[in-house]
């Protein structure tokens, strides 16, 4: 329709009693500027009475505003505002004038009384203190994401927010294709599949940054991944990716970023989430987009996989059109045990050691298939009170 001035006014209500006043004004303007003689006006019928009837409780004035106003003063104010008043004891039945379309309930009348008394007369009052302490407004998952973001930013990573979609051909490199995750009406032809991993989008972003001259890139993202169309198939993950580049320096280049650095970044996030790294087991990666000799999985028991870290497979990067090497990790926040609301464990009494610390180098002959993490875990579990740290510092393979 046409957005005219008349429409604007009529949509907000027009006083039916203003019709005669408007006609008189129009006739006066015609006579003044166009000439002519005014005939005797004829009025058929009467203007309708405002059908809106408001039940007003005078006690609401003090209850809602804290103002003490005498009923006689309220009656005078409302009469001056052209309200028709029917007194019925505790309740007054008011008929507002026809031009007051905003008077619909008792609170509207209270506001009119407070306005005439003066808003500056309203008594001040402090907000009530919350009972039982302040409740957390964030969910446990939101708290985890925030903690992970702070840690990653403090370690020099830049946060990205990428699409929740990716190309179906790229998604096939990070897991099996599920037709239910194909987007029916994608925003772009290369964004036609719900992403099964954040690492693909991070790798593309790192390549775009490299194409614009950013040689060393450290990116991370906290967001969802999609493994199916079921209610539990959406996971919240924190993923990080590094495209290393070492600047030349006269004192020599620093050690390049590798899989162990990715593991250190992952464990820093876990530590911030209250998940000590000692409770997890390192295993071979089960996903094809990780380098088989430069990556690993982090497990909580034999069945629950918490994270993957290490170097992305060079073949996967090549198929995506991305230059490597690239390292990173992907942490499944849903797989982590829930953090306790408060620390219920008290610290043990400090016992000062009477003896100096002892360091021992131990050698074990084991099969080549035994993971080093199993050795560390068993050695540390021999005496948790006396043994504070166990590290693998050398490997010997051969005869003799």
Q: In which band, very low, low, confident or very high, does the pLDDT at 7 lie, cut at 50, 70 and 90?
A: confident
pTM of the model: 0.60
Which CATH code is given to the segment(s) 50-122?
3.30.56.10
Average pLDDT over all residues of the chain: 87
User: Given this model, what pLDDT does residue 339 score?
Assistant: 63
Please, where are the H alpha helices in the chain? 5-11, 18-34, 59-65, 71-80, 106-117, 140-154, 168-171, 199-211, 259-272, 314-319, 372-381
Q: So what's the pLDDT on residue 253?
A: 66
pLDDT at 79: 94
CATH topology (fold) of 140-247+254-335? BirA Bifunctional Protein; domain 2 (3.30.930)
Convert the pLDDT of each residue in 128-141 to its tens digit: 777 766 677 888 89
Q: What is the pLDDT of residue 174?
A: 93
Can you give the pLDDT at residue 386?
Answer: 82
Query: What is the domain partition of the chain in residue ranges?
Result: 1-48, 50-122, 140-247+254-335
pLDDT at 342: 53
pLDDT at 121: 92
pLDDT class of 347 with cuts at 50, 70, 90? low
Whether residue 220 has pLDDT greater than 70: yes
Cα–Cα distance measured from residue 74 to residue 77, given in angstroms and rounded to the nearest whole number: 5
């Amino acid at each position: 329709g046409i957005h005219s001035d008349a429409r604007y006014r009529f949509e907000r209500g027009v006083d039916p009693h203003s019709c005669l006043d408007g006609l008189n004004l129009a006739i006066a303007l015609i006579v003044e500027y166009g000439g002519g003689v005014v005939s005797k006006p004829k009025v058929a019928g009467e203007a309708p009475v405002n059908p809106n009837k408001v039940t007003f409780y005078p006690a609401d004035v003090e209850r809602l505003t804290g103002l003490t106003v005498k009923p006689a003063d309220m009656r005078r104010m409302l009469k001056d505002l052209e309200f028709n008043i029917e007194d019925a004891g505790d309740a007054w039945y008011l008929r507002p004038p026809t031009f007051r379309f905003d008077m619909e309930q008792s609170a509207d009348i209270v506001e009119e009384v407070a306005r005439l008394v003066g808003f500056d007369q309203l008594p001040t009052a402090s907000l009530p203190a919350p009972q039982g302490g302040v409740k957390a407004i964030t969910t446990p998952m939101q708290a985890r994401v925030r903690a992970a973001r702070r840690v990653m930013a403090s370690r020099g990573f830049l946060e990205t927010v990428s699409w929740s979609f990716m190309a179906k051909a790229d998604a096939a490199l990070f897991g099996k294709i599920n037709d239910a995750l194909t987007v029916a009406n994608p925003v772009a032809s290369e964004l036609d599949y719900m992403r099964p991993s954040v690492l693909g989008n991070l790798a593309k972003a790192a390549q775009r940054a490299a194409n614009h001259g950013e040689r060393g890139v450290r990116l991370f993202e906290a967001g969802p991944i999609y493994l199916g169309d079921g209610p539990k198939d959406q996971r919240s993950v924190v993923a990080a990716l590094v495209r290393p580049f070492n600047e030349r320096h006269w004192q020599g280049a620093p050690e390049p970023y590798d899989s162990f650095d990715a593991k250190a970044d992952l464990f820093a996030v876990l530590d911030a989430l209250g998940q000590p790294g000692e409770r997890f087991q390192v295993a071979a990666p089960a996903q094809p987009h990780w380098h088989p000799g430069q990556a690993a999985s982090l497990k909580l028991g034999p069945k629950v996989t918490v994270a993957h870290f290490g170097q992305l497979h060079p073949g996967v990067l090549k198929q995506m059109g991305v230059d490597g090497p690239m390292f990173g990790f992907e942490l499944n926040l849903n797989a982590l045990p829930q953090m306790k609301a408060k620390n219920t464990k008290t610290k043990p009494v400090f016992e000062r050691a009477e003896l100096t610390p002892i360091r021992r180098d131990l050698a074990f002959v084991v099969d080549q298939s035994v993971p080093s993490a199993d050795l560390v875990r068993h050695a540390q579990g021999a005496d948790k009170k006396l043994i504070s740290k166990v590290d693998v510092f050398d490997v010997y393979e051969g005869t003799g």
